[in-house]
Amino acid sequence: MESETEGRRDGVWAQPYHLASGQTQYHQLGQVRLWVTLLDQEWQVRSQTMEPDTDPVTWTETIGHTLPSSEVTLQRFIRSGDSGTVTFIPAVAALPTVIRPYQSLTIPADGRCVIYVGTVLWMKICVGEAQTLLTEVPLGIPSLTWVGGNTMEGELCYSSSSYARLVLEAVPKRPWRAVTPVTIVNRREEPLLLERFSLPTPLLSLHLNERGQVWTPGVTVECETDMNSASLRVEQSLLAAAGTCRRVGPARENIARGRLVRAFDRMFG
């Protein structure tokens, strides 16, 4: 009989998996260990977030009958119907994400650059043909920050440090992270020091290419000379370098075509 270790396969987004009653599917990806169990009357989901002491590069899954210790948090969900299908849908963060480059970047007057940003995904656990949502699991440890002029005006965001890579080939591709190309245009008559910026993650859809990498459409930010506002636009298409993609996750929030305008100190600071 094939052991569960030998039965490990690469996990795949938006692909239905079928479980028989009594079986558990175990996933290892990013900082998360996940167990999804099907019983006669219920679904069970167990998850464990590990300390980020390693940088794993793969997502593996296996189906068997092994459960973790009782110390791992358990969620139970009533099973409706007789379907044993479970599908894992990627989702962007529900809050904007403040990106902080490890080293600040200066953009010359009337200059532009493209930086490639990776953000952690959430995993939606969906069951049945209708893909009914059971729960969501963050695939990393999100940290919160406040962005605004004071404690009364602003918004709560996630915070993420980034190498703000300028070369696409240098960006690590991880199944639990989405790559977003961010074009920053400095239309001012003086250099722009980029120390942080807010990425509108809830407005981004998710797309899977043939190499199992998740991409979002690009974002373009234009800084005007008056420094009072920054104009932000979510592009309608993917970067050609993403390759052939299929959409696997919708944006959490829909926007009308065209531009968004946000206060400068909300975008940069």
Token reading at 127: 């069951």
In the numeric block, the tokens 């169990």 are attached to: 37
Token reading at 58: 């793969």
In this predicted structure, the answer to whether residue 187 has a pLDDT above a threshold of 60 is yes
The per-residue pLDDT for 227 is 42
As a whole number of angstroms, the distance between CA 119 and CA 141 comes to 11
The per-residue pLDDT for 4 is 47
140-182 pLDDT, tens digit per residue, is 877 877 766 666 666 778 888 777 788 888 888 889 999 999 9
Q: Phi first, then psi: give them for residue 32, nearest 5 degrees.
A: -120, 140
Range with the lowest mean pLDDT among 58-62, 257-261, 263-267?
263-267
Please, where are the H alpha helices in 57-157?
Answer: none
The per-residue pLDDT for 60 is 94
The per-residue pLDDT for 2 is 42
Biggest CA pair distance of the chain: 70
Other CB atoms within a 10 A radius of the CB of residue 100 amount to 16
In the numeric block, the tokens 């849908």 are attached to: 89
104-149 pLDDT, tens digit per residue, is 889 999 999 999 998 999 999 999 999 999 999 999 877 877 766 6
How much of the chain is in helix, strand and coil states, percent to nearest 5? 5, 50, 45
Token reading at 239: 């970067």
As a whole number of angstroms, the distance between CA 197 and CA 184 comes to 10
Mean pLDDT of the chain: 86
33-74 pLDDT, tens digit per residue, is 999 999 999 999 999 988 766 667 789 999 999 999 999 999
The per-residue pLDDT for 144 is 74
As a whole number of angstroms, the distance between CA 217 and CA 235 comes to 6
Report residue 110 CA to chain centroid gap.
32
- pLDDT higher at 127 or 264: 127
In this predicted structure, the answer to whether residue 266 has a pLDDT above a threshold of 50 is no
- Tell me the CB-side half-sphere exposure of residue 65, using CA atoms within 13 A: 5
